[in-house]
Chains A and B, each alone.
Chain A
Amino acid sequence: MSAVLIVARGVFKDSIRDRVPYNLLFFAVLMMAASFLLAQLTAGQDVKIIKDLGLAAASLMGVLIAIFIGIGLVAKEVDRRSIYSLLSKPITRSQFILGKYLGLVLTLVANLTVMAIAYYVVLAYLDWHTPANVKLGWEAAATDPMLLKAFALIGVELMLVTALALFFSTFSSTFLSAALTIAIYVIGHFNEDLRSLESFGASPALAMLGRGLYYAFPNLAPLNVTAAVVHGQAVSVQHMLLASGSIGLYVAVLLVASTLIFERRDFK
């Protein structure tokens, strides 16, 4: 097994025991509470609200985990000096970074998978509990497989957030890394607006700057297909591939930059 995979396995084993049970419990409780409460309050809209809320919760929880474990992966290892023992073994710093990244992505995938299962269980329960005449008014089945596409794109988004967190933590403090990652995550969701600053009455210079920033920052808007899948609209495979591909490229650049910085770093 290559050093990268061994490190990834170590990260996965360590972090899965640490965070996932708590996140999942929180998520499951949130989902259950939402389903029962909303079923009481709404007429026929409860399934959409639960679908929407569930995806939003999965995304938010995932982003929080990605940021906090992602930053901790390197910063905590350096602060606590656990990195010293590992780097004195036959492993390069780039293998260390890639292994850490892969391990966290595996943790997030596991986390997201269990969240998706909990999500479908709640939706299946709702489906079983709802009279057939009410279900006729639904735009899509409660357990619509299309929802998995939204989960897949949340996974892609988390891969980017992890790479950002890892990148910043290779050269800055824990707090600054978290702040910068959150900032780019937020900018990424409003990136489309930067491209069209002229339409908001911006000067040509500002518009040019906006366009420059648009290309410099990742565009996360295409990864959010919640509205479409909740309303039973199709999300094309082409859209999935294009959105994932551009983010994949961004992730690759971030990982290369992270390893280049990390290769030169002194662990004082």
Chain B
Amino acid sequence: MDAIRTEGLTKHYTKGFWRPRPYAALEDLTLQVGQGEVFGFLGPNGAGKTTTLKLLMQLIFPTSGQAEILGRPVGDVSVRRRIGYLPENPYFYDNLTAEELLIYFARVFGYSAHDSRARASRLLDEVGIGTERRFQLRKFSKGMIQRVGIAQALVNDPEVVFLDEPMSGLDPLGRRDVRELILRLRDKGCAVFFSSHVLSDAEALCSRVAVVVKGRLAATGRLSDLLANRARAWELVVSGVSQSIIDRIKPRLTGVTPLGEGRFSLELPLTAAPEQLLSEITASGGHLVSLNPVRETLEDFFVEQVRATDEAGIVRERTAS
């Protein structure tokens, strides 16, 4: 049984007051996420990530298609006992304290008052909210609210957690804490579905990713498969090379970065043999420091998908038929 499964999930809105026309926020999304998997749902701003999460949480209803969580339709309220959700830029009740908010949410899950207090205390410790837990939430910074938001998403020890931009508003320390938390959840067998446009986080955490662009699934798969054997250039780091030599070989390079003290990073197209360039450099008194193939990063892959979608001329707004 998949943790999450969507099939042809589509959401169209109407845009425009005087001349309403359909707008495809999400088009035909089909994907599966396994249990215990950290799945990155990536895309540029406005790609349809939050729309997908809202559809999975039944905050909006699909135009067509279906979605299941842990083998149950998303409309089934009982499935929400087994999931957690952090909305994008969460906001909570100003006049409640962080502790009261978590107790409140724990009570919604049916835990006793005593159990709810214990859960609130444990989770606030886990996300690094100390004595501030007794302050009203209106006094909290954005980062602290984000931490409280993560804590409330875990109040029921969920089997599947949905995190919408979990690193948003966090300082580097907070980001590291959240990364560690996600890995701990994975180790406990919890599936984590997180949407983000911060690719380094996805690269560090996810076993599989999906890239959505303009409401459509552009690519999905294991990171290792998506990026395997996708070297795009050679990178040579050389030292003791004069500027005149660099100027002479420059037309054959795709990039030159001075590193200081006579060291340069040279980028050579993958089609060109690095040996010939290397012999020229050593002949002129230079030394090789390192030679590496430049593999495509998730960022390169992501940009490529976005460009491909742009070139395909996909439009999300249509004239009403």
Contacts and interface: CB of A to CB of B under 8 A. Distances in A.
Interface of A: 1, 3, 6-7, 9-10, 13-15, 17-18, 80-92, 264, 266-268
B87 A266 contact: no
Given A13-B95, A88-B83, A92-B77, A81 B109 contact: no
Interface residues of B, number: 38
A91 B92 contact: no
Contact of B59 (A6, A87, A91): A87
Contacts of B86: 85
24 contacts: A3-B108, A13-B96, A13-B104, A14-B95, A17-B95, A17-B136, A18-B94, A81-B87, A81-B91, A82-B90, A83-B59, A84-B57, A84-B85, A85-B87, A85-B90, A86-B108, A87-B59, A88-B80, A88-B83, A89-B109, A89-B156, A91-B108, A266-B59, A266-B60
Interface of B: 13, 54, 57-61, 77-78, 80-81, 83-96, 100, 104-105, 107-110, 136, 149, 152-153, 156, 162
Given A14-B96, A80-B91, A90-B81, 17 more contacts: A10-B93, A10-B104, A14-B93, A14-B95, A18-B94, A82-B90, A82-B93, A85-B153, A87-B59, A88-B83, A88-B85, A88-B162, A91-B80, A91-B108, A266-B60, A267-B59, A267-B60
B92 A82 contact: yes
B105 A85 contact: yes
Contact of A90 (B54, B78, B88, B96): B78
A6 B77 contact: no
A175 B84 CA distance: 34
B95 A88 contact: no
Contact of B149 (A9, A85, A92, A267): A85
B263 to A, nearest CB: 50
Nearest to A99: B108
A85 B152 contact: yes
Given A10-B93, A17-B95, A90 B61 contact: no
A254 B11 CA distance: 30
Contacts of B81: 90
B20 to A, nearest CB: 14
Contacts of A1: 107
